[in-house]
Every structure is written in structure tokens, then in C-alpha cells.
Amino acid sequence: MTDNTPSASPTPVTVIGLGLMGQALAGAFLRAGHPTTVWNRTPSKADRLVADGARLAPTVGEAVRPGTLTIVCVTDYRAVRDLLGPGDVDLDGTTLVNLTSGDSAQARETARWAQERGARYLDGAVMAVPPVIGTAEAVILHSGPRSVFEEYAAPLGALGTVTHLGEDHGLASLYDVAGLAMMWSVLNAWLQGTALLRTAGVDAATYAPFARRIATGVADWLPGYAEQIDRGSFPAEVSALETDARAMAHLIEESEAVGVNAELPKLFKAMADRAIAAGHGGEQYPVLIEEFAKPADA
């Protein structure tokens, strides 16, 4: 992991794609003192950056030059290859850092494509919103050759707190979607509880501090639960799954009684019931990893 301390000798960088995130990335490089070239299909999106000192390249081919560090943040992986694929774009000798959102298979395929064109390639994921780019709060994940990451860790650190996950180019995308699973699960659980409490006249602002304490407490369980998953052993040190399933039934019953949607707790209980039927009722909650690891139609 590397913090967001800028490099002692500013590294020239190129940023391809100037949506809200791309503009934030280019702005962070400029603030850190890196000579920054930008390109976007709509040139006017570069106006503010040019006013701040960026150079607007007239074409993608002129923006991407051998020996440069090039950051790409566009709509999807298809757009990356469409933009950088034409023959007038010379990727040979460039270092390409792709911060475009996609899946792990696309990341690995794009890595092979870039390497065939002579580029060194890192895939990445931005776990932050544009306003915090350039601060330690912005978490930027990278995967690919460690030697490439280490060479450019200092300039990349201008964007936030950067982390190298491993040599597999698909890891950043996998971490990205795993993080989204956490985000939506926490938010949906909070909305379920908020809907329940509203039926008794409790507003969301009143419930939020209590919910935050619950979420923090549950997060504290994760290291111990992770040890159980990695060992493949799930002794019921706190609660057995069959006990949790009875509590899930209470949540479903309460939701239905007060007219609140019960789809989410029913999903929880369906998975727990399958694990109990498979003989895991006396084990602890992380044993459900076996249900999550199965395809939906298994």
C-alpha cells in the first residue's frame, strides 16, 4: 500500500477520458505538480483543466506517447479498445493504467491485448467518488505486474491511497464488485430496518445512529469469521445457524405483519434453510459461504 505523497520528480502523465471521474483524476495530477496531457472525445470538457495548466492533445494518438504513463477512464472496456486500437495509436513502450469499470475477464483480456501491442498494463478500480480524488480517502486498487506498479506508485499516489493487490490483472475488478456487494447489502439491510421502524413513527435519522453501531459491531466479527472460512471449520462459538434461522423467521413475520416487503429476509432464510438441510444447522453463520459459492441453479 502507498499513501498519496507525490513523487519528488514529477512524472508526465496522460489522462484519456474526461467524465467526472477523469476530470478529477487529471486535476489531482495537476495539483501534485505532474505535467498532465488530457484527451476527450468532447474537447470542451478539458477547458477547466487546460486553464489549470493541462495540455489538450488534439488526438488520442498524440496524447499517448511511448514512455508515457497513460491513465484511461472511459465508459467500458470496449471503449478502451475502440479508442486505443487504431493503428495511429502507438502503445509500444507506454505504461497503460486502466481505471475503467468492468469485470475480471475483461481486465485479463484487455491486459493481453495491451501487452500484444507493446504496452505495460495495470488494471485498476477507483473505490471513491470524484470529490475525494487526490486525498487519502480515495482508495485506488491496482492489479498486474508488481514491478510496473512500484515504478509508478509515487505518481499514482497523487490520486489517493493506492494498493497493489497481486499479479492477476483481474483482481482489481473482483475487489471492486466485492466492495459493491458489501455496500448494497449494508444499505439494503438498513433500508429494511428503516421501513420497519417507520411503521411505528420512528424516522430514518433517529434509527441511523443505532444502525451504524450495529454495522460497526458486525464488521468487527469479520476477521474471526474469515479465519473460519479459510480453515473450512465453523464451530458455533457465538450462535448456531439454526438459531439465526429462527431469528430470520421473526424478521419475516414482523415485516409481513406491518406491511413491509419481506423479500430480503426471505432470501436470507432460504439460503440458511438450504445449509441446515445439508447438515450445517449446528455450525456458525460463515458456513453459508458454501451456499454463496454455488451457482444460482445448483
Per run of 10 residues, the mean pLDDT along the chain (length 298 residues) is 55 97 98 97 97 97 92 96 92 97 96 97 97 98 98 97 98 96 96 98 98 97 98 96 98 98 97 98 98 84
Confidence (pLDDT) at 6:
44
Confidence (pLDDT) at 298:
62
Confidence (pLDDT) at 19:
97
Confidence (pLDDT) at 87:
85
Confidence (pLDDT) at 65:
87
Confidence (pLDDT) at 67:
84
Confidence (pLDDT) at 8:
56
* DSSP letters for the chain: -B-SPPPSSPPPEEEE--SHHHHHHHHHHHHTT--EEEE-SSGGGGHHHHHTTPEEPSSHHHHS-TT-EEEE--S-HHHHHHHH-STT---TT-EEEE-----HHHHHHHHHHHHHTT-EEEEEEEES-GGGTTSTT-EEEEES-HHHHHHHHHHHGGGSEEEE--S-TTHHHHHHHHHHHHHHHHHHHHHHHHHHHHTTT--HHHHHHHHHHHHHHHHHHHHHHHHHHHHT----SS--HHHHHHHHHHHHHHHHHTT---HHHHHHHHHHHHHIIIIITTS-GGGGHHHHTS-TT-
Confidence (pLDDT) at 89:
92
Confidence (pLDDT) at 9:
77
